[in-house]
Structure 1
Amino acid sequence: MRALTEDLIPLMNRNAFVNDCIIDERANCAVAEAQKVALRAENVTVRFGGLNAVKNLDLVVKSHAVHALIGPNGAGKSTAVNALSGFIRSEGTVWVGEKTTANWTSHSIARAGLARTFQNIRLFGVMSVLETILVGSHTRFDGGLFSALFRSKAAKKQEREAVQEARRLIEFVGLPPEAAEMTASALSYGHQRRVEIARALISRPTVLLLDEPLAGMNVAEKAELSELIRKVYRSGVAILLIEHDMDVIRSLANHVTVLYHGQKLADGTPDEVLSNADVQAAYLGKGKA
């Protein structure tokens, strides 16, 4: 398991951590690492015709943290995540670590270190679990088209390593080894969610966006998947989580941002945000009018 955890810690962050830290100052180093910014957005705006679905969103997601993005239905949460992950056009600036560009695409932002899951499960109906997870490793293949087509030694080596890592991730997300050869779409709903997370993790992201991963689960399933989410962020992957269950938010999130009508309404710790009168009025339907 130690080797697996090391594999999940992004190499760039791990190397920076080693270079910046002195062995005798481990406590200070841990604090410094936790304060690093994994994802930053400034003035992100999404327009659909004359409608501002998201307006001037500023967001900072720290490393080694779960940052929850909450709000009532229609607040713009999924639109914001789609913009941050390059799936829809937006204005503003997004950084993944220290990387930014004026023209993020879903592919380029994945290469920069951002991976995601979707509100509705998106698996390939006829693929095995192993094959499905391996799809997520494409951002790490650097052999080029010729190498892939003609199966060079380097390409074969990368494929073997990817398969080994996919099998480790199957265990990491809590699936039995024999699940590797099963059809992904034939698994239970909760296990399909775990496959999605494994597919995202194989790209070795610095940031993982989870769009309502616990939706449709019972109390026991939520508790199990919440523990997996803790396991992921403790391995060094920052998480931006969209979730409606306030108990889950309180137990998982280090920081919370609330959207309302596409704009930021509140930002802070879970206790600060959930006790905010404006948040209660907008999101919970009580308190301040």
Structure 2
Amino acid sequence: MVTSTILNFIYPPPPSVFMTAASVMIVASLAILGLLEAGGVHLQNSEFTFTPYKKVPSRTVMLLLYLPAFLAGLASFLIFPDGDLRSLILRSAISLHFFKRILEVLLVHKFSGRMGVNSMVVISLAYFLSTVTSIYSQHLTQGLPEPPVDLLYPGIALFLIGITGNLYHHILLSKLRKEGQREYKIPKGGLFGWVICPHYLFEVMVFVGISFISQSIYSCSWFLATFFYLLGRSYATRRWYTSKFEDFPEDVKALIPYIF
């Protein structure tokens, strides 16, 4: 009964051990990272921490985190030129997501410090593999009957709302401290009056949109993995603000307004 209900919304799982393993691993790994964040084990640059062999400027690192995934998205248009509309929109959404991240690194975010090359390689590889696997998973659905409940167009709407809201709140954060200022401030504007991490909330919405566009097992797993990780990270962020500011509003939640 439960399985038949789920299959109304997604394509049947492909007969692939690799895809099954990848779907399980991405949820498990990011859920663990989210628990570590919530427990106070902070992961460098929002991801992983390793003893660095060599450090390079953070802006350069962040560009190299997103560039391979973006290029993989672009390359998919050449590798799979005959995909259907759903596949085309999925590849476009993923490519746009990482292109927007690259633009933010160049034009929005402010950086200081340096990051280890080995951390950069691992994180960049994770983004790249997730992108490739999601696109390949969609390719495996070609020729299969569409799910009875079509979520493509709601997915496009959610994706566009998510990517726009995420960008807007990143801009607000970038304006929080002017050049030369070092003191921390409580973010204001947008949804910061409801949650301390609205940029994460809209990031989750981006991946809900991608999972709706795709309606594949792997893309749904990618969304769940991202959600679990950002739950832990937003919880840790709120805890930091409450420890730093005595006047931090108690009704401002971590990620989900009025709930969490």
Common fold by TM > 0.5: no
More helix by share: 2
The two structures have a TM-score, normalised by structure 1, of 0.27
The two structures have a TM-score, normalised by structure 2, of 0.29
Higher relative contact order (CA 8 A, sep 6+): 2
